[in-house]
Amino acid sequence: MKRNIRSYLGQRPVIEEGGFIDPCATVIGEVHLARKVSVWPGAIIRGDVNRIEIGEGSNVQDGSMLHVTHKRSDDPEGAPLVIGRNVTIGHNVTLHGCTLGDEVLVGIGSIVLDRAVVGSRVLIGAGSLVPPGKRLESGYLYLGNPVKQVRALTERELAFFEYSALHYQRLADNHQQSLAADEAENSL
């Protein structure tokens, strides 16, 4: 049994075809990882008190922490975490009970909090804080603590979303092959 991928109260993570979870990452509970999602060393995805959904081709980089807000009588939905397709979540990012659209890049060390809604094709600069309930409009760069809309994204920045997602998909395939080779070598 892989101890880094585990059930919680009968909810087992679902990892679709081509998904890569590094052996040093942790995925717990009601988590759905679509096709070709990659989760890198030290990342923690904890769906113990609500659901987490990560869309096709997205990546969760090293040291990131993804969690949710629990359901309760005065808040029956709580705050699940929903991430769109081809999203890049940089190193040491914290996402908590928020929603990210498709083709978003969350810069290193950023924090996105409960019920924040990030539109598609948004770039959140490194070290930024998206406060609870904030809405980020599609097609813009956001920076700061708290974030502020800085400017419209350039064509080059817009093209980078797909490039980044595909890069991490290729990297995950390479790591998967290396792990398989190591396992085969160690079993001799």
Q: Break the chain into its structural domains and give their ranges.
A: 5-186
Q: What is the pLDDT of residues 75-133, one digit of tens each?
A: 989 999 999 999 999 999 999 999 999 999 999 999 999 999 999 999 999 999 999 99
What does pTM read for this prediction? 0.94
CA–chain centroid gap for 37, Å, is 9
Query: What rounded mean pLDDT belongs to the chain?
Result: 96
CATH topology of domain 5-186: UDP N-Acetylglucosamine Acyltransferase; domain 1 (2.160.10)
Q: Which helix (H) or strand (E) holds 30?
A: strand 26-33
Query: Nearest-CA neighbor of 43 among 23, 64, 22, 29?
Result: 64
Residue 3 has pLDDT above 90, yes or no: no
Q: Virtual CA dihedral for 20, 26, 32, 36, nearest 10 degrees?
A: -10
Q: What is the pLDDT of residues 117-170, one digit of tens each?
A: 999 999 999 999 999 999 999 999 999 999 999 999 999 999 999 999 999 999
Q: Are 27 and 48 in contact (CB under 8 A)?
A: no
The C-alpha atoms of residue 15 and residue 187 are separated, in whole angstroms, by 25
Residue 61 has pLDDT above 60, yes or no: yes
Q: Are 179 and 171 in contact (CB under 8 A)?
A: no
Residue 1 has pLDDT above 60, yes or no: no
